[in-house]
A and B are shown apart, each in its own frame.
Chain A
Amino acid sequence: MILHRRKLLTGGAGLMGTALLGGCDRFAGTETGRRTLQVGEDANLYVQRLLMSPATLAREFPAAMISPWFKPNGTIDPPDRAYRALAAQKFAAFRLTVDGLVETPLSLSLADLRALPSRTQITRHDCVEGWSCIGQWAGVPLAEVLKRAGLKPQARYAVFHCADTLEYAGSQDGAFLRPGHPGAVREAYVQLAAAEDWGGAPTATDAPKDDWGQGSADSEPEDKRTPIRYYESIDLYDAVNPQTILAYDLNGKPLPVSNGAPLRLRVERQLGYKQAKYVMRVELVGSLAGIGQGGGGYWEDRGYEWYAGI
């Protein structure tokens, strides 16, 4: 009798365990499941912002702690033809576009950006995968750029449009190109890119030209494949932080292509995938609903948290 009950209990526990975990995966796949699992992100954002102010700085490190090798990841060599043309000329023709909900849209060359007040900081880069590197970044505080553009009162978020194509919308190639997670280095895809010589096609936006404003000279209007280039967003709370910079130097040298040349975002209180590389355009918006699928970034639209403070 006792033995029977014991068997029943242990057998039942095993069965419940299997059902529970299979159920977990099914639950996560439903709309209710997705929304429930997002509660944790909301709580993290709310509580972390209680513990800090917009001006709270991430820790800065002594020069002796700079990592000998700053691991590049995500896109390390954008396959896009337009970007490659810019890189071949050492970004002499590069212009950063600042537009959207601003009083004065800007178009800034690298020389213009370097002429603005600059900030240098030695900070730790924390990848969502778990690894960390310390590097020294120099760049122009985003607040300085926004001050010159002048925010319209409806502006809530800064969206960063980047030069690197990660996949093509709705195409089989897209599925093949898509990296599994933010840390995956895409060397294989880059080789493929060189072979196919892609890039320069119209973007996912309804604009007839590249959404980062490089003109439509290379575009192939009849190309059915719509490239999805990297995009990210932060809110004004992070945008006005003194450490939030558009970095042009890494460890005292111009940013290498593998780390996001010529300009990458540093938003030091968040994880690596927020640090958008190859930034071509900063767009001020009132809502993230019209950006990509509405999550606020390339990885956010693929399940990752918009608030990456943890």
Chain B
Amino acid sequence: MAASPALEAPETVDRQGRRWFYRHPLVIRLAHWINAAVLLVLLMSGLQIFNAHPALYWGAVSTFDDPALAITSEQGRDGRSHGVVTVGTHSLDTTGVLGLSRAEGGTEVERAFPSWATLPADQDLATGRRWHFLFAWLLVINGAVYLLYGLFSGQLRRRLIPDGDQIRDFGGSVKEHLLLRFPEGTEAKRYNVIQKLTYLVLVLGLLPAMVLAGLAMSPGMDAAWPWLTELFGGRQSARSVHFIAAGLIVLFVVVHVLLVLVSGLVNNMRGMITGWFSLGRDREHAR
């Protein structure tokens, strides 16, 4: 049986006392950075849209008196306004960030997400929607290019599907990862099993679910494809799923950026900008 694709070194070069590995092909690099910019615009314009009605519900319709989640501004016992996040029966004072925050210039405003987190910064649903839908198309086109390229070049399989030995040593890999020990040499040519599974869930699960939940909120799509809205349990459920999935993507990005920082910012950034990733100084190590 042939060696697993990950171990067939596509390209390595020795230069300046280091062994270099061409880790990210151009299409993947472009897709990565376009995705990063597009997701930022989608997140911030999405928060702008959420601010127009900062409450979530389950089912087909809104139960206005009984939202699953609400971000509001309420008068506290001290007579002052407070930002409050309510989830079910639990409330949390979030003054300064959620519900009540300061706009540019220092004036206190009642808005779910603060102006620094929304696009546009001011309350402007119409423009927020235009940004959101234009960039949703860019996300879909960029994602389609990435998936088609990944599928036909074998990159998707090489990057996202764990190899047999990785699945067998799942526990060891989790331990190494938690101790923030990162492999060098040949092993650094492939993602570890947790990375692979995380990217797999993101690329084939979370991002497509995000797009579908967004479409399920559209009255036009609901007429054309009623099964899609039904799949999410109704329009308001789709809206809640869309919001939660956005939160999970933000969580992914935070962890992703932290791990990029601790596992060698320069090498990682060089890899994703030029494609070349250093496997280490020691030639013996980088067989």
**CB–CB A59/B223 < 8 A:** yes
Interface residue? B61 (CB, 8 A): yes
Known: A24-B120, A56-B224, A270-B220. A130 touches B52 (CB 8 A): yes
**CB–CB A130/B239 < 8 A:** yes
**CB–CB A131/B219 < 8 A:** no
List of 6 A-B pairs having minimum Cβ-Cβ separation, nearest first: A309-B220, A303-B126, A40-B134, A40-B133, A37-B130, A129-B53
Interface residue? A44 (CB, 8 A): yes
Instruction: Please measure, in the bound complex, the distance between the C-alpha atom of A5 and the C-alpha atom of B268, giving whole angstroms.
Output: 13
B123 nearest CB neighbor, chain A only: A180
Interface residue? B91 (CB, 8 A): no
Interface residue? B100 (CB, 8 A): no
Q: List 10 A-B contacts (CB under 8 A).
A: A25-B121, A37-B127, A40-B136, A52-B220, A124-B60, A129-B125, A131-B55, A309-B218, A309-B220, A310-B133
Instruction: Please measure, in the bound complex, the distance between the C-alpha atom of A310 and the C-alpha atom of B137, giving whole angstroms.
Output: 13
Chain A interface size, under 10 / 10 to 19 / 20 to 34 / 35 or more = 35 or more
Interface residue? B62 (CB, 8 A): yes
Known: A25-B119, A132-B62. A58 touches B222 (CB 8 A): yes
Interface residue? A57 (CB, 8 A): yes
A303 nearest CB neighbor, chain B only: B126
Q: Please indicate which of the listed interface residues B41, B130, B229, B235 has the most CB atoms of chain A within 10 Å of its own CB.
A: B130
**CB–CB A128/B224 < 8 A:** no
Interface residue? A183 (CB, 8 A): yes
Chain A residues in contact with chain B, CB under 8 A?
2, 5-6, 9, 17, 20-21, 24-25, 28, 36-41, 43-44, 48, 51-52, 56-59, 61, 65, 67, 69, 71, 124, 126-134, 180-181, 183, 268-271, 299, 302-305, 308-310
Interface residue? B266 (CB, 8 A): yes
**CB–CB A39/B134 < 8 A:** yes
Which of the residues B120, B129, B221 comes within 8 Å of A48, measured between beta carbons?
B221
Q: How far is the CB of A124 from chain B (nearest CB, A)?
A: 6
Which of the residues A20, A40, A128, A269 comes within 8 Å of B220, measured between beta carbons?
A269
**CB–CB A24/B119 < 8 A:** yes
Q: How far is the CB of A72 from chain B (nearest CB, A)?
A: 12
Could you tell me the dominant secondary structure of chain B's interface residues?
helix
Known: A5-B266, A131-B53, A305-B129. A43 touches B64 (CB 8 A): no
Which of the residues A36, A41, A271, A299 comes within 8 Å of B133, measured between beta carbons?
A41
Which of the residues A40, A59, A180 comes within 8 Å of B130, measured between beta carbons?
A40
Which of the residues B44, B53, B55 comes within 8 Å of A127, measured between beta carbons?
B53
**CB–CB B130/A133 < 8 A:** no
Interface residue? B27 (CB, 8 A): no
**CB–CB B225/A126 < 8 A:** no
Q: How far is the CB of B262 from chain A (nearest CB, A)?
A: 12
A133 nearest CB neighbor, chain B only: B61
**CB–CB B131/A129 < 8 A:** no
**CB–CB A9/B126 < 8 A:** no
A71 contacts across to B, CB distance below 8 A: 62, 64
Q: How far is the CB of B80 from chain A (nearest CB, A)?
A: 23
Give 5 new A-B contacts, CB below 8 A, not counting A128-B129, A304-B129.
A20-B37, A25-B120, A48-B221, A129-B125, A304-B126
B235 nearest CB neighbor, chain A only: A132
Which of the residues B133, B223, B239 comes within 8 Å of A44, measured between beta carbons?
B133
Instruction: Please measure, in the bound complex, the distance between the C-alpha atom of A9 and the C-alpha atom of B135, giving whole angstroms.
Output: 26
Interface residue? B72 (CB, 8 A): no
Known: A9-B265, A305-B130. A52 touches B224 (CB 8 A): yes
B67 nearest CB neighbor, chain A only: A131
A48 nearest CB neighbor, chain B only: B220
A304 contacts across to B, CB distance below 8 A: 125-126, 129
Interface residue? B171 (CB, 8 A): no
Known: A59-B226, A124-B235, A134-B60. A270 touches B219 (CB 8 A): yes
**CB–CB A51/B119 < 8 A:** no
Q: How far is the CB of A8 from chain B (nearest CB, A)?
A: 11
Which of the residues B40, B50, B235 comes within 8 Å of A126, measured between beta carbons?
B235
**CB–CB B131/A37 < 8 A:** yes
Q: How far is the CB of B214 from chain A (nearest CB, A)?
A: 8
A48 contacts across to B, CB distance below 8 A: 218, 220-221, 224
Known: A41-B133, A128-B129. A24 touches B41 (CB 8 A): yes
B215 contacts across to A, CB distance below 8 A: 310
A129 contacts across to B, CB distance below 8 A: 52-53, 125
Q: How far is the CB of A65 from chain B (nearest CB, A)?
A: 6
**CB–CB A51/B225 < 8 A:** yes
Q: How far is the CB of B135 from chain A (nearest CB, A)?
A: 8
Which of the residues B49, B127, B220 comes within 8 Å of A130, measured between beta carbons?
B49
B62 contacts across to A, CB distance below 8 A: 71, 131-133
B219 nearest CB neighbor, chain A only: A126
A302 nearest CB neighbor, chain B only: B126
**CB–CB B219/A268 < 8 A:** yes
B133 contacts across to A, CB distance below 8 A: 40-41, 43-44, 310
Q: How far is the CB of A69 from chain B (nearest CB, A)?
A: 7
A127 contacts across to B, CB distance below 8 A: 53
Known: A21-B119, A28-B131, A69-B64. A128 touches B52 (CB 8 A): yes
B131 contacts across to A, CB distance below 8 A: 24, 28, 37
Known: A51-B225, A305-B129. A130 touches B269 (CB 8 A): no
Q: How far is the CB of A230 from chain B (nearest CB, A)?
A: 16
Instruction: Please measure, in the bound complex, the distance between the C-alpha atom of A303 and the C-alpha atom of B131, giving whole angstroms.
Output: 12
A44 contacts across to B, CB distance below 8 A: 133, 220
**CB–CB A61/B129 < 8 A:** no
